[in-house]
Amino acid sequence: MNSYDLLVVGSANADLVVGVERRPGAGETVLGSDLVVHPGGKGANQAVAAARLGARTALLARVGDDGHGRLLRESMESAGVDTSGVLVGGAPTGVALITVDPSGDNSIVVSPGANGRLTPDDVRAARELFAAAPVVSTLLEIPLDTVAEVARSLADGARLVLNPSPPASLPDEVLAVCDPLIVNEHEAAVILGTEPGATPEEWAKALLELGPRSVVVTLGSEGALVADASGSARVPSVKVEAVDTTGAGDAFTAALAWRLGTGAPLADAAAYAARVGAAAVTKEGAQASYPTADEVAAL
């Protein structure tokens, strides 16, 4: 029996959030609200989101020996995440600078900090975590060679879920084991080296030709598209009033990865994940907004 339902390998950041009436253009200064600091980072977000839903979750990440690092560890532990794989030192904790407008849309700049020091050697040293997890989820807020080592370190029969954010070209050895590759339309365009404008079905078809076993294209308030060798299908979203979209994609990815590990078909896992993502945007912040399974069921 596996010790975990999900292992997340990724980033842990302090989110520094300011509300604005509108996001500034180039060379422009706007006034914002008081600064609020939230625990975040796409890896830590996924781990907390999965644990809140009831998944036995572990995180492999690196934080600094500083106040932001302590904030992150405390947040994850209070959510039930196993933090034995959270390494300390090497650089200050990563920071995300986030502006949120009245519609709930956000703009984010990330300073990787300690996330950039999570190495392939760290992955190899965590072999016990990999051996205990049927699903591993990772992302690109850590070095690409570390992501490649994650792909090589999967236990027999384990499934890799990858959200390539921030987007970059991916090695063939990573693409070949993605099941699924989860992208939004911007990420799909970067990976394919094309301009936005194609349909989600066209994105998915082109991405599958690169080698992933399955693909999920997230479509914000319009839900998602899932695709594999057998075809594609649209998954509708749940209509809610968005307050803050920060971290909603991480909640979606975590929920989908966990449900896949329970044996759910891809479309069913994505439909559940869409409900989790919808619940997350109804509250401010990233980790603080993540719902329990009961809250998702109540939508």
Q: What pLDDT digit, counting tens, does each position of 16-42 carry? A: 999 999 988 899 999 999 999 989 999
What pLDDT is attached to residue 141?
94
209 is in an annotated binding site: no
* pLDDT tens by residue, 213-253: 999 999 988 899 999 999 999 999 888 888 877 789 999 99
Mean pLDDT of the chain: 93
Buried b (16+ CB within 10 A) or exposed e, 35-74: eeebbbbbbbbbbbbbbbbebbbbbbbbbbebebbebbbe
Residue in this structure with the two tokens 């994650």, named with its chain if needed: 150
The verdict on whether residue 148 carries a ligand-binding annotation is no
User: Considering 82, 122, 179, 250, which one is annotated as catalytic?
Assistant: 250
Q: Does residue 43 have a known ligand-binding role?
A: yes
How do residues 79-107 score in pLDDT, each as one tens digit? Answer: 999 999 999 999 999 998 989 898 878 88
Q: Do the annotations mark residue 13 as ligand-binding?
A: yes
Higher pLDDT, 60 or 243: 60
Task: Please state which CATH class domain 6-24+32-297 belongs to.
Answer: alpha beta
Prediction pTM value: 0.92
Percentage above 70 pLDDT, the chain: 99
Placement of tokens 């890896």 in the chain: 43
Residues 104-152 pLDDT 10s? 788 888 899 999 999 999 999 999 999 999 999 999 999 999 999 999 9
Let me know if 145 is a catalytic residue. no
Show me where the domains of the chain are located.
6-24+32-297
197 marked ligand binding residue: no
Given a cut of 80, whether residue 49 has pLDDT beyond it is yes
Task: Confirm if 173 and 200 have CB atoms less than 8 A apart.
Answer: no
